[in-house]
Amino acid sequence: MSNQEISKEDINAIFPDVAEIIADALGCDTDEVKLDSSLINDLDAESIDFLDIVFRLERKFKVKIPRGKLVEDARGELSEAEFESGGVVTDVGLERLRGFMDEVPADRISNPLKSAEIPKLFTTETFCKMVLRVQREGASS
């Protein structure tokens, strides 16, 4: 499933629900949650909040989102060794992330990027896309 198949219309259709879920989970106002908000950098989310957000998204959209799904999807076809080395994302991995997470400004996906820091890249749109991808995988399986 490529990102190209997810249109802006698709994203905009679920954005209000996703934004509301993120705002509830993080205790902020819905209008603070923009499509391009970095959950960690802009909205002060912590990694534990992601579990809560994913749980709420699963309930709202009636989907199952496996743990680590975002990072796994971001890695794509690359093996772990191709994607990261010594906890740092490789050049090939960075290229893959830039393509996969095209909603993130490319300059934020820069060398050196520790794999542990990938969640810092996640935006509201990243979560919208994840829900849409999981819905489509579910529909096609």
- What does the block give as tokens for 140? 């096609």
Q: What is the pLDDT at residue 5?
A: 83
Q: What is the pLDDT at residue 1?
A: 43
Q: What is the pLDDT at residue 69?
A: 84
Q: What is the pLDDT at residue 100?
A: 92
Q: What is the pLDDT at residue 13?
A: 97
Measured CA distances, 116 to 84, 108, 111 (Å): 10, 14, 13
Which residue segment(s) compose the domain that 108 sits in? 3-140
What value does the mean pLDDT of the chain take?
92
Q: What is the pLDDT at residue 139?
A: 79
- Three-state SS for the chain is CCHHHCCHHHHHHHHHHHHHHHHHHHCCCHHHCCCCCECCCCCCCCHHHHHHHHHHHHHHHCCCCCCCHHHHHHHCCCCHHHHEECCEECHHHHHHHHHHCCCCCHHHCCCCCEHHHHHHHCEHHHHHHHHHHHHHHHHHC
pLDDT digits (tens, 9 = 90+) for 40-64: 999 999 989 999 999 999 999 999 9
How many Å apart are CA 88 and CA 12, to the nearest integer?
A: 33
Digits of tens for pLDDT over the chain (141 positions)?
444 589 999 999 999 999 999 999 999 999 999 999 999 999 999 989 999 999 999 999 999 998 888 888 889 899 999 999 999 999 999 999 999 999 999 889 999 999 999 999 999 999 999 999 999 988 776
Q: What is the CATH number of the domain that holds 42?
A: 1.10.1200.10
Residues 6+ apart with CB under 8 A from 38: 104, 108, 120, 121, 122, 123
Structural domains of the chain, count: 1
Distance of CA 58 to the CA centre of its chain: 14
Specify the amino acid at residue 129: K
